């Protein structure tokens, strides 16, 4: 059964720092991996989608990488800002009967201090 782990569970950094959030998954048979952002009490906003055939995707200050063989993904945030404070979730979409099912990690809660 697919399991997704995110480390660290929480992270606090000063404004301006570059940072990396980690996501690992146990089964490499995935269609894609998606990173989300969740603000307190709010819904999930999709940040980046990496297909299984891709190695990385970029959007603005965000860069996500995928190493399917080792079951790892990273989300790199450059020049962090207080507005980046949120919980970041990664989710994998796997093969099998429920072909749209996303398996989520428990998230990394990021706090960027001014």
Report the interface residues with other proteins, using CB under 8 A.
31-32, 34, 36, 41-46, 49, 51-52, 89, 91, 93, 97-102, 104-107
Output the CA–CA distances (angstroms, integers) from residue 49 to 16, 34, 70, 91, in the order listed. 25, 4, 18, 10
Which residues are 93's β-sheet partners? 32, 102
Instruction: Pick between residue 64 and residue 80 the one whose CB is nearest to other proteins.
Output: 64
**Shortest distance (Å) from residue 60 CB to other proteins:** 16
Helix (H, G, I), strand (E, B) or coil at 96: coil
What are the C-alpha distances in Å from 87 to residues 43, 60, 100, 108? 11, 18, 23, 5
- When the beta carbons of 52 and 63 are compared against other proteins, the nearer one is 52
Q: At closest approach, how far in Å is the CB of 38 from other proteins?
A: 9
Taking the complex as a whole, the smallest distance from the CB of residue 77 to other proteins amounts, in Å, to 19
Q: How far is the CB of 71 from other proteins (least distance, A)?
A: 18
């Amino acid at each position: 059964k697919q399991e997704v782990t995110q480390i660290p569970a929480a992270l606090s950094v000063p404004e301006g720092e570059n940072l990396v959030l980690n996501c690992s998954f146990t089964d490499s048979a995935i269609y894609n991996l998606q990173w989300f952002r969740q603000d307190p009490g709010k819904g999930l906003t999709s940040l980046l989608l990496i297909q299984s055939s891709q190695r990385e995707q970029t959007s603005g200050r965000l860069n996500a990488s995928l190493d399917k063989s080792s079951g790892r993904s990273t989300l790199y945030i450059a020049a962090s800002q207080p507005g980046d404070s949120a919980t970041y979730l990664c989710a994998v979409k796997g093969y099998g009967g429920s072909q749209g099912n996303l398996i989520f990690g428990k998230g990394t809660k990021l706090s960027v201090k001014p």
